[in-house]
Amino acid sequence: LVRDEPRLRLVFLGTSHPNPRLPAMAMPRRACRLAEELGLLGQHVFFNEGWVPYERRADYLLEANLGVSAHPAHLETQFALRTRLLDYVWAALPMALSAGDELGDALAADGLAHAAPPGDVAAFADALRAALRDAWPAATRQAAFALWQRRLTWERVAAPLAAFVAVPRRAPDRARGPAPTPLVPVEELRRVAEEAERLRGRLAAVERGRVLRALNWVQRHLHGRRS
- Does residue 141 sit in the same domain as residue 66? yes
Q: Give how many domains the chain has, as a whole number.
A: 2
- Does residue 144 sit in the same domain as residue 213? no
pLDDT exceeds 90 at position 161 = yes
CA gap 150, 156 in Å, rounded: 8
pLDDT one-digit tens code per residue, 39-84: 999 999 999 887 888 889 899 999 999 999 998 888 888 888 888 9
CA gap 33, 45 in Å, rounded: 11
Q: Is 4 inside a domain boundary?
A: no
Q: Is 94 inside a domain boundary?
A: yes
CB 115 within 8 A of CB 134: no
- Does residue 98 sit in the same domain as residue 193? no
- Does residue 15 sit in the same domain as residue 117? yes
pLDDT exceeds 90 at position 196 = no
CA gap 66, 135 in Å, rounded: 7
Picking from 119, 139, 156, the residue at the C-terminal end of a domain is 156
pLDDT one-digit tens code per residue, 123-156: 999 999 999 887 777 777 888 899 999 999 999 9
- Does residue 90 sit in the same domain as residue 134? yes
- Does residue 117 sit in the same domain as residue 200? no
**What are 11's strand-pairing partners?**
46
Q: Is 169 inside a domain boundary?
A: no
- Does residue 47 sit in the same domain as residue 99? yes
Please report, for the domain that includes residue 49, its CATH number.
3.40.50.2000
- Does residue 65 sit in the same domain as residue 118? yes
Q: Is 2 inside a domain boundary?
A: no
How many other C-beta atoms are found inside a 10 Å radius of the C-beta of residue 24?
A: 10
Question: What is the layout of strands, in order, in the sheet containing 67-69?
Answer: 67-69, 95-98, 113-116
The band of 182, judged by pLDDT with boundaries at 50, 70 and 90, is low
pLDDT one-digit tens code per residue, 95-129: 999 999 999 999 999 999 999 999 999 999 999 99
Q: Is 194 inside a domain boundary?
A: yes
- Does residue 16 sit in the same domain as residue 97? yes
- Does residue 86 sit in the same domain as residue 148? yes
Which structural domain, as residue segments, surrounds residue 213?
184-227
CA gap 149, 142 in Å, rounded: 9
Q: Is 171 inside a domain boundary?
A: no
Q: Is 176 inside a domain boundary?
A: no
CA gap 25, 81 in Å, rounded: 22
The number of angstroms, rounded, from the C-alpha of 183 to the middle of its chain's C-alpha atoms is 36
Picking from 106, 138, 156, the residue at the C-terminal end of a domain is 156
- Does residue 106 sit in the same domain as residue 205? no
